[in-house]
């Protein structure tokens, strides 16, 4: 009697030719199906890897916004709702450290912009930093302070300033330089006292000579390639970044929700931006090696900056497991600013560095408290 073929597997179409081997046929069919299933899974895995690691599509903004102004250093994106007419703007200074500014508006349910809006802050803007070019490779920190100042003036002249990671020291500099233009200052995961704590960035800065960083810029033809920074971040957790996350992807490649989340994060993480070489070397030398900001020795826009000139309400947010910016580097800011002690708030979030800006727990717990604090001081 002819055995019915199995349409789900091409190998099974060979069954009619294998009736002479009835004992071995089930094993043969099983091996064939398993081989095709493994091949299919491998192809699905490679498709995801190709999309995130090779194609590297530019990340998208999760929340509707409009372009307010465009400079050679940044685009100012306005996320304000149409009904928002009164009150001052909240300006988010995204990190300028090799990744795109979409970290401030990563995804629905994982967006700082969205969190602000849901909690009653309707006038929100974000600095969308541009990748460096041959035309901007000689820009320094002053160029970016100037860009922030243009943004603040565009938004009405006074803002609630929120600095994320490297955007924090830029925000602190700006507030010290133009104290009357900042109503409140929030620093999240921001390295202010770079000599504090035991972070890996601090270790790299103090153990590697300037010639090492200068060579990186030379290799980038005058810019610090974002790809170089990405490799550095990956090497901090090499096992996870080069092996473990791909093992987990392979295990879960048939889970659409898992793949969607993987592609979303990797599209942001792998899509890098370049930094001006002069800017990068100035940051390494004057901020991370010499810690000039807290020593009141940094010159910004022609003036020696003194953190005591920061007198506005200050909120300091650190990550409990942040190995990029240790808690001490954030919280030590209170020692140097001129803000009254009763107007300084400190909070520790349950998570690491990136989680401060897109993690569910900080966005649902810590940031709503910051919003209420901002609203209290904006009346």
Taking alpha carbons only, the member of 357, 343, 344, 337 closest to residue 189 is 357
Q: How far apart are CA 227 and CA 4, in angstroms?
A: 55
Beta bridge mates, 107: 110
Q: Is the confidence at residue 353, as pLDDT, over 50?
A: yes
Count of beta carbons in the 10 Å neighbourhood of residue 221? 11
Q: Is 376 exposed, middle or buried (0-12, 13-18, 19+ CB in 10 A)?
A: exposed
pLDDT tens string 9-58: 433 443 344 443 344 344 445 445 567 777 777 777 777 777 777 667 78
Beta strands 124-129 and 223-224, pairing class: unpaired
Model pLDDT, residue 261: 82
User: What's the token pair of residue 5?
Assistant: 């073929």
Structural domains present in the chain = 66-225+272-376 (3.40.50.1820)
Q: How far apart are CA 6 and CA 3, in angstroms?
A: 9
pTM passes above 0.85: no
Q: How far apart are CA 248 and CA 144, in angstroms?
A: 40
Q: How far apart are CA 137 and CA 127, in angstroms?
A: 19
Count CA atoms within 13 Å of residue 178 on its CB side: 21
pLDDT tens string 67-118: 999 999 999 999 998 766 678 999 999 999 888 889 999 999 999 999 999 9
Q: Is the confidence at residue 156, as pLDDT, over 70?
A: yes
Beta strands 74-78 and 124-129, pairing class: antiparallel
Which positions ≥6 away from 342 have C-beta within 8 Å? none
Beta bridge mates, 299: 304
């Amino acid at each position: 009697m002819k055995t019915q073929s199995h349409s789900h597997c091409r190998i099974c179409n060979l069954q009619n030719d294998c009736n002479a081997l009835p004992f071995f046929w089930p094993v043969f069919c099983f091996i064939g199906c398993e081989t095709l299933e493994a091949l299919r899974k491998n192809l699905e895995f490679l498709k995801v890897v190709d999309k995130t690691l090779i194609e590297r599509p530019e990340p998208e903004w999760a929340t509707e916004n409009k372009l307010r102004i465009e400079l050679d250093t940044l685009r100012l994106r306005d996320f304000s709702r149409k009904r928002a007419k009164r009150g001052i703007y909240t300006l988010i200074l995204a990190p300028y450290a090799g990744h795109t500014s979409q970290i401030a508006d990563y995804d629905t349910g994982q967006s700082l912009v969205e969190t602000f809006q849901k909690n009653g802050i309707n006038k929100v803007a974000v600095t969308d930093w541009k990748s460096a070019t041959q035309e901007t490779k000689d820009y320094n920190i002053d160029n970016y302070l100037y860009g922030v100042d243009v943004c603040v003036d565009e938004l009405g002249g006074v803002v609630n300033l929120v600095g994320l990671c490297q955007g924090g020291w830029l925000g602190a500099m700006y507030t010290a330089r133009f104290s009357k233009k900042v109503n409140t200052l929030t620093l999240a995961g921001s390295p202010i006292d770079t000599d504090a704590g035991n972070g890996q960035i601090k270790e790299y800065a103090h153990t590697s000579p300037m010639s090492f960083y200068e060579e990186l810029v030379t290799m980038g033809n005058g810019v610090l390639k974002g790809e170089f920074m990405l490799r550095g971040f990956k090497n901090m957790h090499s096992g996870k970044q080069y092996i473990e996350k791909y093992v987990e992807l392979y295990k879960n490649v048939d889970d659409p929700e898992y793949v969607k989340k993987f592609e979303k994060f990797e599209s942001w993480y792998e899509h890098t931006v370049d930094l001006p070489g002069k800017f990068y070397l100035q940051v390494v030398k004057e901020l991370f090696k010499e810690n000039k900001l807290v020593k009141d020795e940094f010159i910004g826009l022609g003036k020696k900056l003194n953190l005591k000139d920061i007198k506005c309400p200050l909120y300091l947010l650190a990550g409990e497991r942040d190995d990029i910016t240790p808690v001490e580097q954030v919280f030590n800011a209170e020692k140097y600013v001129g803000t009254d002690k009763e107007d300084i708030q400190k909070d520790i979030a349950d998570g690491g560095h990136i989680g401060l800006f897109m993690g569910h727990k900080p966005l649902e717990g810590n940031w709503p408290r910051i919003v209420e604090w901002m609203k209290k001081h904006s009346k």
